[in-house]
Amino acid sequence: MKNKIRLISSILFVLFFLMACSSEKKEKTIVHSKLNYSTNAFEPYISAKTIKLHHGVHYKNYVEKSNMLIDKFGFNGKSVAVILKKTKNKEKYFSLYNNLGQALNHEIYFNSLSPKPTTPSKQMIEMINKSFGSYENFKKEFIFAGSSHFASGWVWLVKNKDKLEIMTTSNADNPLTQGFVPIFTIDVWEHSYYLDYQNKKSDYMKDITKNLLNWDYADSVCFDLK
Ligand code: MN
């Protein structure tokens, strides 16, 4: 009898142990990345008020909703890229796709900004020249693409094989679902600029492109330096 009790309690102990392990293993698929700078570091181009709201509220909500919906639909353990590809254009996953796309896009956006000036490396300049003719021309085309994007979305520098391209996506779409490598992005949803620029989206695009783009981050993604 005693042995039986011992055996049952051992089994129960192992079961509880396994349950505890599996619940601990449920790591969050995407986290709310810390801002590497103070909220006023991007002034005068982006105000602390905008950064606090954008990073601290909008981005955070997208991350929290994503993880909740990943749990609900049982996508735990899969990568963000895989989940986005599996849920794209599927009505059932509309909310998960959009929240996760937005969570990832914001992670890339905040990495794409640097308050201290950075410049493209020699290797990057070569790619820019090959793809756009010149750095000046790249900036012109990038500003135009972001300024003229209709409604909510994103303007991207992407890698397509050995060339760079500029593209825009609407709502929560990320170029990775179309086979491109996202190098950096600027958010052109109104919440990213309206407090500081009101309807002057092209001024926001010009200020960010000329003063805040993080070319060190671009290098690390483009040339796999991570
Ligand atoms: Mn945003």
> CATH no. for residue 121?
3.55.40.20
pTM of the model: 0.88
| Res 217 pLDDT > 60 | yes
Per-residue model confidence as pLDDT tens digits over 93-143: 999 999 999 999 999 999 999 999 999 999 999 999 999 999 999 999 999
pLDDT computed for residue 149 by the predictor: 97
Q: Is 13 domain-assigned?
A: no
Distance 112 CA to ligand 1 centre (A): 13
Distance 155 CA to ligand 1 centre (A): 12
- Cβ-based neighbours of 67, under 8 Å, separated by 6 or more: 28, 29, 30
pLDDT computed for residue 46 by the predictor: 98
Distance 201 CA to ligand 1 centre (A): 14
**Distance between CA atoms of 63 and 139, rounded to whole angstroms?**
31
Distance 23 CA to ligand 1 centre (A): 32
Better pLDDT: 128 or 11: 128
Q: Is 33 domain-assigned?
A: no
| Res 64 pLDDT > 90 | yes
Q: Is 52 domain-assigned?
A: yes
Q: Is 223 domain-assigned?
A: yes
Per-residue model confidence as pLDDT tens digits over 155-164: 999 999 999 9
What range does the domain containing 102 cover? 45-226
**Distance between CA atoms of 180 and 28, rounded to whole angstroms?**
25
Distance 190 CA to ligand 1 centre (A): 8
Distance separating the N- and C-terminal Cα atoms of the chain:
60
Number of domains, the chain: 1
> Which tokens belong to 37?
């700078």
Q: Is 11 domain-assigned?
A: no
Q: Quick one: pLDDT band at residue 9, thresholds 50, 70, 90?
A: low
